[in-house]
Structure 1
């Protein structure tokens, strides 16, 4: 008697129940938006905020990644004053709530930066070559981007530091003994190996920034949350409006989370070869 060939479970059977439940919620939300005029109108009034949310998040995340890498390199430096300064930066930023820091940047740091700009370029302003900068000219969108950049750079710096320190010290010493400079050692030995450890947490930080970008609505930035707030206050359809707001955020974060999970599995398979 021949044994039956093993049948691989279908894709539907392999999906986890929690993901099926979330997909069901998304399908119900999409059905409500396409079939109900109330939900459809709310969606059309909020869809412009999606582009603002993604634009603010992408710009802030790229800047925070660059700044976080520099801070991480300072934290792993052999120069103690540089290492202590970077550690001080990380601990201070991570100890302040993002919303508080957002207000601090918007209403304290921004006027200070404008004043410093005018002071440095005072001769050119007196000669009439350039116009003096004003606080009103410092757009709140860029204040929000700057605040998110500084806040998340502290968290991303810890991700980079963990990835760099995960590389065996023996490999670094061997590379140095072969005559590689510190830059070539970092570029050819440390960073390629650290990247496998760094990428998944970086993806999770990006997902978190998409959600935390809702805080910029406190500054009046026209993102999803701010447009939802304005729509609900004018129509009094709070239940329907915030259902659409939650649907938009959930669609973005679940898609990005699944992409990060796929990236983790891809990196694991690549590392096991």
Structure 2
């Protein structure tokens, strides 16, 4: 017990090393939240373009571009995308590493979110489109007043799971020397030469955050099911 307390003191209290964990946690949450916002906005637009082409044949060129984008992003590792954006795209620009990470993870998330939205849109019965058109709505009006509300309601739980996945994916941000939560644990390890306590602490923090988010998604799913029965 004394050894454990000594190790905890040496890893976190001595030299105020706990600040690495706190600041790293803040960076991780910031990157995750803003990347998710980018992913949801971009993913929604991509899904609208692709589903519009699949449903009525419009926006063919834009749909092709979006399809290529999704294929490339989903077919390459996120860490490689992060390195390309930092060392190639922004190589000659003085830019915040946090902003680079937000852009990289946001663009990556957009590809997956777009497929979530697209599947939600295409899951709506085609009779809903016909009902909207029979009421005199244009395709756009039918899409945004009848189809989208139902589709978004159906995919919200899946978007919650994407948020969880994105949170864990940001752990590779240290590849561009961004001091996120994972990097913070590694910095402490390099100071104390003790890998067990700092790295397991980081793992425990990720696990706690994931468990909290999983619980929130489960509660949201239950509420959506209840609302559907009314």
The equivalent residue for 1:138 is 95
- The 10-residue stretch of structure 1 (156-165 or 261-270) with the greater mean CA deviation from structure 2: 261-270
CA distance in 1, matches of 2:193, 2:156: 43
Q: CA deviation at 1:269?
A: 1.5
TM-score by length of 1: 0.75
Q: Which of the numbers 15, 35, 42 marks the counterpart of 1:67?
A: 42
Aligned counterpart for 1:238 among listed residues 195, 198, 208: 195
TM normalised by structure 2 equals: 0.89
- What is the distance in 1 between the residues matched to 2:100 and 2:12? 32
Which blocks of at least 5 consecutive residues in structure 1 are unaligned?
Answer: 1-31, 112-133
Which residue in 2 is equivalent to 1:103? Answer: 83
Classify the secondary structure of the residue corresponding to 2:179: coil
Distance, in Å, in 1 between the alignment partners of 2:20 and 2:175 is 19
Matching residue of 1:50? 25
**Matches of 2:187 and 2:51, distance apart in 1:** 46
Q: Deviations over 1:59-98 (max 9, x none)?
A: 1100110000111111112222222222111111100010
Which residue does the alignment assign to 2:112? 155
Structure 2 unaligned residues grouped into runs of 5+:
none
RMSD of the alignment, in Å? 1.8
Alignment of 1:105-124 (within 5 A): 105-111=85-91
CA contact (8 A) 2:11 2:188 kept: no
* SS class of match (1:145): helix
Q: d(CA) in 1 for partners of 2:224 and 2:12?
A: 40
Query: Are positions 1:200 and 2:157 aligned together?
Result: yes
- In the other structure, the counterpart of 1:255 is 212
How many residue pairs end up in the alignment? 218
> Residue by residue, what CA displacement relative to the aligned partner does 1:121-162 show, whole Å, maximum 9, x if unpaired?
xxxxxxxxxxxxx52x21221111111111110000000001
